[in-house]
Structure 1
Amino acid sequence: MHIKKASLLTKLVVLLLLVGAATGLLNLRKQILSAQTELAQAQSQVAAQKQTNADLADAVENSGDPDRQADIARSKLGLVEPGEYVFRFTD
């Protein structure tokens, strides 16, 4: 039985293949981490948009509520009830 030793060229080729594979894996890992970050950001945006949609749906459902209308008239339009006075303090 005769075992033949690998030549220097074969060893270099195997080493280069290993280095290439390791570099490829590192690049792939970097891409995966970047994609995970983008996914987390997108999920956060989706959650925020769902909350906005829920708030808007609530506003539409309760748009006929007189208390809500009075709050909007006061806060957005600056209106007051008859006989009501508004005092504003400035610094």
Structure 2
Amino acid sequence: MKVKKASLLTKIVVLALLIAAATALLNLQHKITAAQADLAQAQSEVAAQKQINADLADAVENSDDPERQTDIARDKLGLVEPGEYVFYFTD
């Protein structure tokens, strides 16, 4: 029985196909890595937004708390109690 050897053209075609497949796999790996990074970024943003939403829900839920209203008046509006003085120290 005679075994037919592959011609040079066949070897070149097979080599070209292997190179093309390897290039496609590397490109796909790069895309997967980029997609994983995007996913991690999106998950981080979702977690941050959930925290913001929880803080806002707490603020709405406790909006009638007199202590909270006093804190807002002092910190955000700069108001003081009658007879109270605020001192600001500068360098």
Question: TM-score normalised by the shorter chain: which range applies?
Answer: over 0.9
> How far apart, in 1, do the equivalents of 2:2 and 2:30 lie?
45
Q: Secondary structure, in 3 states, of the residue corresponding to 2:40?
A: helix
Partner of residue 44, structure 2 = 44
- Normalising by structure 1, what TM-score? 0.98
> How far apart, in 1, do the equivalents of 2:11 and 2:45 lie?
51
Residue identity opposite 1:20 in structure 2? A
After alignment, is 80-89 or 9-18 more displaced? Answer: 80-89
Q: Could you list the runs of 4 or more consecutive aligned residues of structure 1 that deviate by over 6 angstroms after TM superposition?
A: none
Alignment of 1:1-91 (within 5 A): 1-91=1-91
Structure 1 position 16, deviation (Å):
0.2
Residue identity opposite 2:40 in structure 1? A
1:7-28: per-residue Cα shift (whole Å, max 9, x none)? 0000000000000000000000
Structure 1 position 82, deviation (Å):
1.1
Unaligned runs of 5+ in 2: none
Structure 1 position 84, deviation (Å):
1.2
In angstroms, what is the RMSD of aligned CA positions?
0.5
> How far apart, in 2, do the equivalents of 1:60 and 1:79 lie?
21
> How many matched pairs?
91
Residue identity opposite 2:51 in structure 1? Q
Unaligned runs of 5+ in 1: none
Structure 1 position 2, deviation (Å):
1.0
